[in-house]
Amino acid sequence: MSQPLTFALAKGRLLEETLPLLAELGIEPSESLTGSRKLMFETNRPDVRLLVLRATDVPPYVERGGAHLGIAGKDTLLEYGSDMLCEPVDLQLSKCRLMTATKKGEELPATGRIRVATKYVNVARQYFASQGRQIDPIKLYGAMELAPIVGLADVIVDVVDTGNTLKANGLEAKDLIAHSSARLVVSRVAMKTRHQHIAPMIERLNEWVKTQNAT
Ligand code: PRP
């Protein structure tokens, strides 16, 4: 038998939303995905196994063949920026916006490099370049809302959902860079080599998304 189809999931917020979608594909993890330190899980289907990874690690795992397919946010995929990955289904989950935000009432410096605190350094660089501005990126892994407040940065680039985090920290959203939602992501290689396995999944998930959004 060939290697089981390996499906990479992102831990955190998205993982819970992913479970009904797996059920739709007839995949049930053999144990709770959140209850242990395990990273790889067998399922009720001997031909399918699951990996539970950091969200930012899903694209490289899928791109390099560590997994055949996965679920990742568009924000993460934009930052990763690979042309070896396809996004055949927009799952319409975990919707949010990638935005710039500054300290409330403040504007960006009129000239010079802009200090940008973000975990989306590539997205930020591309966005500000499109505005004709160069940036001095400050790569952070969390709590970037604090950076403008303590004078570390002029602006942040981060995902915004309700806007509560910005508000609670004295920031205001400025420019919309991109809309984000969770995507089914498949490597171009797996799309060919595992087509018979993956194509019905894509079809089923597209139907599932239609049904979810019709109600
Ligand atoms: C994201 C983001 C903000 C928050 C925005 O963090 O970094 O902190 O959500 O959501 P809101 O607009 O509804 O307040 P998340 O909770 O995903 O954790 P992370 O910092 O680990 O990415």
pLDDT digits (tens, 9 = 90+) for 187-197: 999 999 999 99
Pocket test for ligand 1, best of 98, 141, 161 (most atoms within 8 A of CB): 161
CB-count exposure of residue 54 (10 Å: 0-12, 13-18, 19+): exposed
- Domain that residue 20 falls in: 5-94+181-214
80 and 149, same domain (yes or no): no
Q: What is the pTM of this model?
A: 0.95
Ligand 1 test: best mutation among 14, 98, 158, most atoms within 8 Å of CB? Answer: 158
Do 90 and 185 share a domain, yes or no? yes
Are residues 68 and 149 located together in one domain of the fold? Answer: no
Q: What is the DSSP letter of 209?
A: H
Nearest Cα neighbor of 191 from 50, 85, 64, 78 is: 85
State how far the Cα of 95 lies from the Cα of 159, in Å rounded to an integer. 10
Claim to verify: residue 46 and residue 23 sit in the same structural domain: yes
pLDDT for 57-114, tens place per residue?
999 999 999 999 999 999 999 999 999 999 999 999 999 999 999 999 999 999 999 9
- Looking at the structure, do residues 18 and 64 belong to the same domain, yes or no? yes
* Shared-domain flag, residues 114 and 76: no
Domain count, the chain: 2
Q: Are residues 130 and 35 in the same domain?
A: no
What residue spans of the chain are helical by DSSP H? 13-24, 58-63, 74-80, 121-130, 146-149, 164-168, 188-193, 195-214
Instruction: Identify the CATH number of the domain in which residue 79 sits.
Output: 3.40.190.10
Cβ atoms of residues 90 and 183 within 8 Å: yes
